[in-house]
């Protein structure tokens, strides 16, 4: 295919010519995300942003006629994303995160910690309508039904990802699935069927088709038949009470061959974010190796403490100005719960996490000596230096009463694991991407030096070329082997030779 750099307004070639025409070459914004065509094929709705910098949290929705100029249809200083044109051409649905904060001198806006709002743009009237009232989850991936009467979308709910529908006429939401983890695909032209991916704790994702009620799904693919030969640890969704009356939920993976009444070593895994959540599904984020631990006789706890998504906006905001506070207590209460269940051995506990999970690992080893080994992955250790060097300072500032200043600096220091390095005795493995801009490489170096100076067993490994997450196969494999060897050696005082 040949690309032509035509000026805006020159028109677009048809598919048969195999020639692409740039429609936004003269625009003062960068196109982001997947575009959505109007049903008549004459206009495109898409997301545009002033820059590609993540700290510039403003995204807007644009509508452009083929060969014409782009028209911005949103004025929200926050992020507006994922436009979807209705089949009747009358409306565009999209997701909006309102932001009324005052910009800093450099134009940066502190990002609000609120749910994305489902919003509908009336194409003829040019008016916007926020239809989020009554829905307390974070919608994603909106899709219209062919009759333009409903909008389907997915949203995290508890440890699952469910499908919901918004009825435009009645202005009501309906949950269409229950205790499933789905990825919404497309709806057939006649509106009778929908395609989606579905996975569970026992089976990886495959493609399914069903009616729009999502009952009796028919499986169309079998991408990983070899996984049926694997012996997996059974998963269980558990709940426990934490301080201040919070009910907390998590996923527990039991060891392969679990025998009731026997106690097992326990690995606790903190998730990233903190606006994230653990799910009850086959995949494991960031390669923490949950089923590998289970196969080697470990139980694994995946807690969703306050600050997690999937439990409503109030719960998600539960750790504002309180990192290392209620969230930490929630996780410790979860560990206690698994011990009380008779599953975890209180003398064989380990802890790990990546990103914010790495922060929580750093914080945990600075607050308690109950864990015999730990792994900090891409973790925040000094929030003061983190603010000045990372690529999303506006997001970090959300949790610490604003930007780093004389008024907020003490909070940043008080919630940094590095501040309490004198308390650390837990042998700690630190893993980090050598090109990480989200959590810059000074973060692991500061904590490594602090532990080294204090005689604590510590090891720091940088993975070349890697950013905030490990992508290269051999780096991910090395992580699994290295963290297992470290934890086994220090938590069980044995060799990890059985892990090969």
Tokens at 237, concatenated:
């969704």
> What is the rounded CA–CA span in Å between residue 61 and residue 76?
10
In a shared domain, residues 181 and 304? no
pLDDT digits (tens, 9 = 90+) for 32-88: 778 899 999 899 999 888 766 666 667 889 998 887 888 899 988 888 999 999 999
> What is the rounded CA–CA span in Å between residue 133 and residue 314?
15
Q: Is the pLDDT of residue 283 over 80?
A: no
Predicted local distance difference test score (pLDDT) of residue 499: 41
Q: Is the pLDDT of residue 5 over 50?
A: no
In a shared domain, residues 101 and 120? yes
Predicted local distance difference test score (pLDDT) of residue 11: 40
CATH code, 377: 3.40.50.1820
Q: Is the dihedral of CA 384, 306, 290, 137 positive or negative?
A: negative
In a shared domain, residues 332 and 206? no
Predicted local distance difference test score (pLDDT) of residue 52: 66
Average per-residue pLDDT in the chain?
90
In a shared domain, residues 80 and 181? yes
Is residue 176 within 8 A of residue 190, CB to CB? The reply is: no
In a shared domain, residues 208 and 238? no
Tokens at 3, concatenated:
């690309």
pLDDT digits (tens, 9 = 90+) for 96-144: 998 877 666 766 677 788 999 999 999 999 999 999 999 999 999 999 9
Element (H, E) at 458: strand 458-463
In a shared domain, residues 286 and 174? no
Number of domains in the chain: 2
> What is the rounded CA–CA span in Å between residue 279 and residue 250?
8
Is residue 266 within 8 A of residue 301, CB to CB? The reply is: yes
Find the mean pLDDT for residues 2-22.
54
Residue 355's SS3 state is coil
pLDDT digits (tens, 9 = 90+) for 197-235: 999 999 999 999 999 999 999 999 999 999 899 999 999
> What is the rounded CA–CA span in Å between residue 366 and residue 424?
5
Residue 159 — pLDDT band, cuts 50, 70, 90?
Answer: very high
Predicted local distance difference test score (pLDDT) of residue 59: 85
Q: Is the dihedral of CA 431, 436, 437, 442 positive or negative?
A: positive
Is residue 310 within 8 A of residue 156, CB to CB? The reply is: yes
Q: Is the pLDDT of residue 284 over 60?
A: no
Output helix, strand, coil percentages for the chain, rounded to the nearest 5.
25, 30, 45
Residue 497 — pLDDT band, cuts 50, 70, 90?
Answer: very low
In a shared domain, residues 147 and 50? yes
Q: Is the pLDDT of residue 286 over 60?
A: no
> What is Dmax (Cα atoms) for the chain?
74
Last residue of a domain, one of 224, 245, 264: 224
> What is the rounded CA–CA span in Å between residue 327 and residue 342?
24
Residue 409 — pLDDT band, cuts 50, 70, 90?
Answer: very high
Q: What percent of the chain has pLDDT over 90?
A: 77
> What is the rounded CA–CA span in Å between residue 27 and residue 68?
11
Domain range enclosing 175: 2-224
Predicted local distance difference test score (pLDDT) of residue 48: 86
> What is the rounded CA–CA span in Å between residue 140 and residue 158?
15
Helix axes 356-367, 326-340, angle to 10 degrees: 70
**Which of 10 and 214 is assigned the larger pLDDT?**
214
Residues 6+ away with beta carbon under 8 Å from 67: 8, 9, 10, 11, 12, 23
CATH code, 160: 2.120.10.30
Last residue of a domain, one of 201, 224, 247: 224
Tokens at 271, concatenated:
């998730």
Predicted local distance difference test score (pLDDT) of residue 269: 97
Predicted local distance difference test score (pLDDT) of residue 7: 36
In a shared domain, residues 198 and 303? no
Q: Report which of 12, 9, 190, 44 is spatially closest to residue 123, judged by C-alpha positions.
A: 44
Q: Is the pLDDT of residue 10 over 60?
A: no
Query: DSSP alpha helices (H): ranges in 317-441?
Result: 326-340, 356-367, 383-389, 393-398, 409-414
In a shared domain, residues 160 and 101? yes
Q: What is the dihedral of CA 384, 390, 395, 400, to 10 degrees?
A: 0
**Which of 130 and 4 is assigned the larger pLDDT?**
130
Predicted local distance difference test score (pLDDT) of residue 111: 75
Predicted local distance difference test score (pLDDT) of residue 425: 97
Find the mean pLDDT for residues 441-454.
98
Distance of CA 45 to the CA centre of its chain: 26
State how far the alpha carbon of 147 is from the alpha carbons of 76, 90, 121, 192, 228, in Å.
29, 12, 17, 11, 40
Q: Around Cβ 388, how many Cβ atoms within 10 Å?
A: 10
Q: Report which of 451, 389, 455 is spatially closest to residue 420, judged by C-alpha positions.
A: 451
In a shared domain, residues 216 and 355? no
Q: What is the CA radius of gyration of the chain?
A: 24
Last residue of a domain, one of 182, 209, 224: 224
∠45-48-49 over CA atoms, to 5°?
165
In a shared domain, residues 301 and 210? no
In a shared domain, residues 132 and 261? no
**Which of 9 and 308 is assigned the larger pLDDT?**
308
Q: What is the dihedral of CA 478, 479, 480, 484, to 10 degrees?
A: 110
pTM over 0.85: yes
3-state secondary structure 225-249: HHHHHCCCCCEEEEEEECHHHCEEE
Residue 1 — pLDDT band, cuts 50, 70, 90?
Answer: very low
State how far the alpha carbon of 117 is from the alpha carbons of 3, 196, 285, 434, in Å.
37, 23, 26, 36
Is residue 20 within 8 A of residue 3, CB to CB? The reply is: yes
Predicted local distance difference test score (pLDDT) of residue 107: 65
């Amino acid at each position: 295919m040949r690309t032509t750099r035509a000026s805006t307004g020159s028109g677009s070639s048809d598919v048969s010519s195999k020639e692409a025409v740039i429609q936004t070459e003269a625009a003062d914004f960068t196109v982001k995300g997947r575009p959505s065509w109007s049903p008549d094929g004459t206009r495109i709705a898409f997301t545009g942003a002033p820059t590609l910098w993540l700290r510039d949290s403003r995204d807007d929705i644009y509508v452009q006629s083929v060969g014409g100029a782009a028209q911005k249809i949103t004025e929200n200083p926050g992020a507006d994303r994922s436009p979807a044109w209705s089949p009747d051409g009358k409306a565009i649905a999209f997701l909006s995160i309102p932001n009324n904060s005052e910009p800093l001198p450099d134009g940066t806006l502190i990002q609000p910690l609120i749910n994305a709002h489902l919003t509908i743009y009336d194409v003829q009237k040019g008016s916007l309508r926020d239809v989020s009232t009554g829905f307390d989850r974070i919608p994603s991936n909106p899709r219209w039904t062919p009759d333009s009467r409903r909008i389907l979308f997915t949203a995290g709910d508890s440890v699952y990802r469910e499908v919901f529908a918004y009825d435009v006429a009645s202005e009501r939401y309906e949950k269409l699935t229950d205790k499933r983890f789905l990825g919404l695909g497309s709806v057939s032209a006649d509106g009778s069927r929908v395609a989606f991916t579905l996975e569970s704790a026992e089976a990886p994702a495959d493609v399914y088709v069903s009616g729009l009620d999502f009952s009796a799904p028919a499986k169309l693919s079998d991408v990983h038949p070899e996984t049926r030969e694997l012996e997996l640890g059974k998963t269980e969704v558990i709940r426990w009470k934490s301080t201040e009356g919070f009910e907390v939920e998590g996923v527990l993976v039991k060891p392969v061959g679990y025998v009731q009444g026997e106690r097992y070593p326990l690995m606790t895994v903190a998730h990233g974010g903190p606006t994230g959540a653990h799910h009850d599904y086959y995949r494991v984020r960031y390669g923490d190796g949950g089923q590998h631990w289970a196969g080697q006789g470990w139980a694994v706890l995946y807690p969703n403490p306050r600050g997690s998504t999937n439990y409503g906006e109030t719960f998600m905001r539960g750790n504002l100005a309180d990192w290392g506070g209620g969230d930490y207590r929630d996780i410790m209460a979860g560990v206690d719960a698994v011990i009380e269940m008779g599953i975890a051995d209180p003398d064989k506990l380990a802890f790990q996490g990546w990103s914010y999970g790495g922060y929580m690992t750093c914080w945990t080893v600075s607050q308690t000596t109950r864990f015999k080994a730990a792994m900090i992955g891409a973790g925040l250790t000094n929030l003061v230096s983190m603010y000045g060097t990372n690529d999303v300072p506006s997001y970090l500032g959300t949790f610490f009463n604003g930007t780093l200043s004389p008024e907020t600096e003490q909070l940043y220091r008080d919630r940094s694991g590095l501040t309490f390095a004198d308390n650390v005795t837990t042998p700690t493995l630190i893993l980090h991407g050598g090109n990480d801009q989200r959590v810059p490489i000074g973060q692991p170096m500061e904590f490594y030096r602090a532990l080294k100076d204090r005689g604590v067993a510590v090891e720091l490994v940088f993975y070349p070329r890697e950013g905030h997450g490990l992508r290269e196969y051999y780096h991910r494999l090395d992580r699994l082997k290295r963290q297992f060897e470290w934890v086994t050696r220090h938590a069980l005082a044995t060799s990890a030779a059985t892990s090969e």
